[in-house]
Amino acid sequence: MIPAAFEYHAPKSLEEALRLLNRHGSEAKLLAGGHSLLPLMKLRLAAPRCVIDLGRIHALRYIREENGRIAIGALTTHTEVLESPLLRTKCPLLPQTAWEIGDVQVRNRGTIGGSLAHADPAADYPAAVLALDAEIVAASADGTRTLRAAEFFVDMLTTALLPGEILTEVRVPVLPPGTGTAYRKLHQPASGFAIVGAAARLTLGSGGKVERVAVGLTGVAPKAYRAAAVEKALTGKKASEKLLAEAARHAVPQDVELLSDLHASAEYRKAMAVVFTRRALEDALARAQSKKR
């Protein structure tokens, strides 16, 4: 189908984009990679009167180390995340996650900022940024503010971004020695989205004990979440496959609303959340152990 008529703008600076967004308000939609917005427009499920294409704002496309963290511009593509030597060395969970996104075409065009701002419940990055305790920077005409990943995802397709704000940067930590990470995912065969995706970060301390662990889950509920009960079951204990398997059983809290659709029932998602949490933890542990040698 053909989208409804709309006004198109392609600003070359963040300031220009913010002015346009402030002028058009709720009638405007932001375009980054376009993989979410354009299909909705073609199906007439979205009919914005104004589209603001951020693709020419080259200042929002970077990966660099700053003040002990790694800053990633919102328009950085999945391929750039995947191939970044800095991220592969100091925060490999994001490249591991990017590898699981879509296909080559999607990775070459889609952006980390666009994915996070869209907050699709089956997207991959939300699990990873939660497991990394990432920070997300939003800009508006009034300035910038920084949000924790834990407070960024509000509900299905809903974030803590306010009207007039643009997501501009993601900040992730430089991981300490003895840390292993992994992202494991049950793919939806046609789209590549996550029926269930689990991101794990695990740091080993003295005696092989789990010093710190974080697990993020996507695809299971209307929004990605941290598996706090899994983390509690592991922290301070000597790591073993048996311990990981027992902890993974707590991947889905009782108060989580499970998704159920034609791809997977709620019961199946719950079972697979346990399986893929265990697999992610096992991979993260193996990588942490190899770094401790």
- Asked if residue 220 is part of any domain, the answer here is yes
For residue 129, what are its two tokens?
A: 């940024």
Q: How far apart are the two ends of the chain, measured CA to CA in Å? A: 57
Q: Are residues 18 and 108 in the same domain?
A: no
Percent residues over pLDDT 70 in the chain:
99
Residue 36 banded pLDDT, cuts 50, 70, 90:
confident
Tell me what the pLDDT averaged over the chain comes to: 96
Quickly count: other Cβ atoms within 10 Å of residue 189's Cβ.
Answer: 8
Q: Are residues 206 and 274 in the same domain?
A: yes
Please name the helix (run of DSSP H) or strand (run of DSSP E) that holds residue 17, with its range, or none: helix 14-24
Please name the helix (run of DSSP H) or strand (run of DSSP E) that holds residue 180, with its range, or none: strand 179-187
Does the pLDDT of residue 168 top 90, yes or no? Answer: yes
Question: Mean pLDDT throughout 172-184?
Answer: 97
- Asked if residue 24 is part of any domain, the answer here is yes
Question: Mean pLDDT throughout 200-215?
Answer: 96
Instruction: Please name the residue that has the structure tokens 């509000």.
Output: 154
pLDDT of the residue at 292: 65
Q: Are residues 200 and 162 in the same domain?
A: no
- Asked if residue 13 is part of any domain, the answer here is yes
Which one-letter amino acid corresponds to residue 247?
A: A
Does the pLDDT of residue 45 top 90, yes or no? Answer: no
- Asked if residue 193 is part of any domain, the answer here is yes
Q: Which of 35, 47, 213, 188 is nearest to 112 (CA)?
A: 35
In terms of phi and psi (left: phi > 0; alpha: psi -120 to 50; beta: otherwise), the region of 133 is: left
- Asked if residue 118 is part of any domain, the answer here is yes
Residue 272 banded pLDDT, cuts 50, 70, 90:
very high
Q: Are residues 101 and 188 in the same domain?
A: no
Q: Are residues 194 and 265 in the same domain?
A: yes
Instruction: Please name the residue that has the structure tokens 């419940």.
Output: 121
DSSP per position, 245-280:
HHHHTTSS-TT------SS--HHHHHHHHHHHHHHH
Tell me the pLDDT tens digit for each residue of 217-260.
999 999 999 999 999 999 999 999 999 999 999 999 999 999 99
pLDDT of the residue at 287: 98
- Asked if residue 1 is part of any domain, the answer here is no
Q: Tell me, what DSSP letter sits at residue 62?
A: -
Residue 4 banded pLDDT, cuts 50, 70, 90:
very high
pLDDT of the residue at 191: 87
Q: Tell me, what DSSP letter sits at residue 186?
A: E
Q: Are residues 144 and 227 in the same domain?
A: no
Does the pLDDT of residue 161 top 60, yes or no? Answer: yes
Which one-letter amino acid corresponds to residue 280?
A: A
CATH classification at residue 271: 3.30.390.50
Residue range(s) defining the domain that contains residue 147: 61-173
Which residues of 63-106 form beta strands (DSSP E)? Answer: 63-66, 69-73
